[in-house]
């Protein structure tokens, strides 16, 4: 039998086919067909250059194998195969400690392996790609931030006509701006979180909404924010199989975000409001922005009743006032949060600026310590149970 090796693989359920890894790989080990991006084990030297630029983390997957998966195997996958059981010759135990350590490190990935909540619906992924996009019609484009704000965030509504494009709250879509970049290459796919519930921005319509912030040098964000009603736009996806909403109405959902990180939480809140307004599960939102005028959905959020959604807004740049971040408000709400954290019906979602991750983690650590819970043990268990999700950028 061959000695086990660590094989680099790409998760087809999460990959958005943006081509970044193929462009980055210095040894041309990454290639693709119309279905999947794959890694040639005979060329990959595990240099890891492709890991940081990947926008989704789909690149960071590993299996310990005694017989490597071929390119054809990988082209045919809809999802990654489970880690095979490895029996090392000459040992009675099923697996050797060294090999187990290799497998543990392979499973961990950069941020730890996340899974979907147990009660989430099964998502459809990768129905459309760059080669075969779906064409949507823009049916709305509204500015979400106050006219005095220099943060320009838009609510964009896309309609898919007669072509099925099933999505779930928490999933994203890809958009490619037309034209080419300075090197003459097509622009990269940009990912945007869906801000509307599964049955449409308008109930029972084949449409969805996005929350897009105009970035000064952003090719795609400027393209999207300038779209007019009636424009046609090419869309890929849907993407995302883990950052999903639990279907169970008894699930408590704690949502922590900054800026456009609020998009999936608008989708979660709208779905709960429309499908189970009297659900026993608690929903809590911690939302950080510079000022109220910069906070997307500020007006509509005020109208969501507190019984459905507990809202806590943290403002960092109100003149004459102390800077407040989401993690500060979480500490203020320690009592309710610690009560929720004791329940195995509670799910936590963090979405937005990467910088907030650390602060949120320490706030949860302090809150747990106050009621003699161990946050870091809980966090690992919650992640493995699909109850802890982080999507930051």
Q: Which residues bind ligand A2P (CB under 6 A)?
A: 258-259, 288-290, 316-317, 323, 325-326, 353, 355-356, 359
Cβ proximity to ligand A2P: between 283 and 326 the closer is: 326
Helix axes 334-341, 356-370, angle to 10 degrees: 80
Q: Which residues are catalytic?
A: 192-193, 351, 391, 393
User: Would you call 205 exposed, middle or buried from its count of C-beta atoms within 10 A (0-12, 13-18, 19+)?
Assistant: middle
Nearer to ligand A2P (CB atom), residue 184 or residue 216: 216
Distance between CA atoms of residues 259 and 175, nearest Å: 20
Least separation, in Å, of the C-beta of 264 and ligand A2P?
16
Give 243's contacts (C-beta < 8 A, 6+ positions apart).
Answer: 114, 170, 171, 264, 349, 351, 389, 391
Minimum distance from CB of 150 to ligand A2P (Å)?
A: 10
CA distances from 309 to 11, 121, 289 (A): 34, 22, 18
**Rounded least distance, CB 2 to ligand A2P, Å:** 47
If phi > 0 it is left, if psi is from -120 to 50 it is alpha, else beta; for residue 143 that is: beta
CB of 289 to ligand A2P, least distance (A): 5
Give the C-alpha separation, 39 to 75, whole Å.
10
CA distance 216 to 222: 8
Q: Judging by DSSP bridges, how do beta strands 388-392 and 346-352 pair with one another?
A: parallel
Min dist. Cβ of residue 317 to ligand A2P (A): 5
249/359 with CB nearer ligand A2P: 359
Q: How far apart are the first and last CA of the chain?
A: 43
């Amino acid at each position: 039998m061959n000695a086990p090796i660590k094989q680099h693989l790409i998760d087809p359920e999460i990959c958005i086919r943006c081509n970044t890894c193929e462009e980055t790989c210095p040894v041309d080990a990454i290639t693709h067909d119309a279905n999947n991006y794959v890694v040639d084990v005979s060329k990959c030297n595990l240099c890891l250059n492709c890991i940081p630029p990947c926008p989704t983390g789909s690149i960071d997957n590993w299996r310990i194998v005694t017989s490597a998966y071929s390119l054809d195997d990988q082209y045919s996958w809809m999802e990654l195969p489970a880690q095979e059981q490895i029996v090392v010759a000459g040992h009675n135990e099923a697996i050797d400690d060294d090999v187990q350590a290799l497998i543990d490190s392979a499973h961990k990935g950069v941020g730890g392996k996340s899974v979907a909540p147990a009660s989430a619906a099964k998502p459809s992924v990768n129905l459309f790609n760059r080669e075969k996009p779906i064409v949507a019609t823009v049916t709305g484009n509204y500015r979400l931030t106050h006219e005095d704000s220099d943060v320009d965030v838009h609510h964009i509504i896309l309609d898919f006509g007669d072509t099925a494009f099933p999505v779930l709250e928490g999933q994203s879509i890809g958009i490619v701006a037309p034209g080419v970049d300075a090197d003459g290459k097509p622009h990269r796919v940009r990912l945007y979180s869906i801000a509307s519930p599964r049955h449409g921005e308008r109930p029972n319509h084949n449409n969805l909404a996005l929350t897009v912030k105009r970035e000064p040098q952003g090719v795609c964000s400027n393209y999207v924010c300038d779209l007019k009603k009636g424009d046609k736009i090419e869309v890929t996806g849907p993407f995302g199989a883990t950052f999903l909403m639990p279907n169970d109405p008894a699930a408590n959902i704690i949502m922590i975000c900054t800026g456009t990180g609020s998009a999936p939480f608008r989708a979660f809140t709208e779905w709960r409001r429309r499908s189970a307004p009297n659900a026993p599960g608690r929903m809590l939102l911690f939302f950080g922005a510079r000022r109220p005028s910069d906070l997307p959905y500020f007006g509509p959020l005020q109208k969501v009743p507190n019984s459905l959604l507990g809202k806590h807004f943290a403002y960092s740049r109100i003149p004459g006032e102390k800077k407040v971040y989401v993690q500060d408000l979480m500490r203020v709400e320690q009592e309710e949060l610690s009560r929720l954290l004791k329940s195995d019906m509670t799910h936590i979602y963090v979405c937005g600026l990467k910088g907030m991750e650390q602060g949120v983690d320490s706030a949860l650590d302090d809150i747990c310590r106050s009621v003699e819970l161990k946050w870091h043990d809980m966090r690992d268990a919650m992640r493995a149970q699909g109850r802890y999700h982080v999507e930051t950028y």
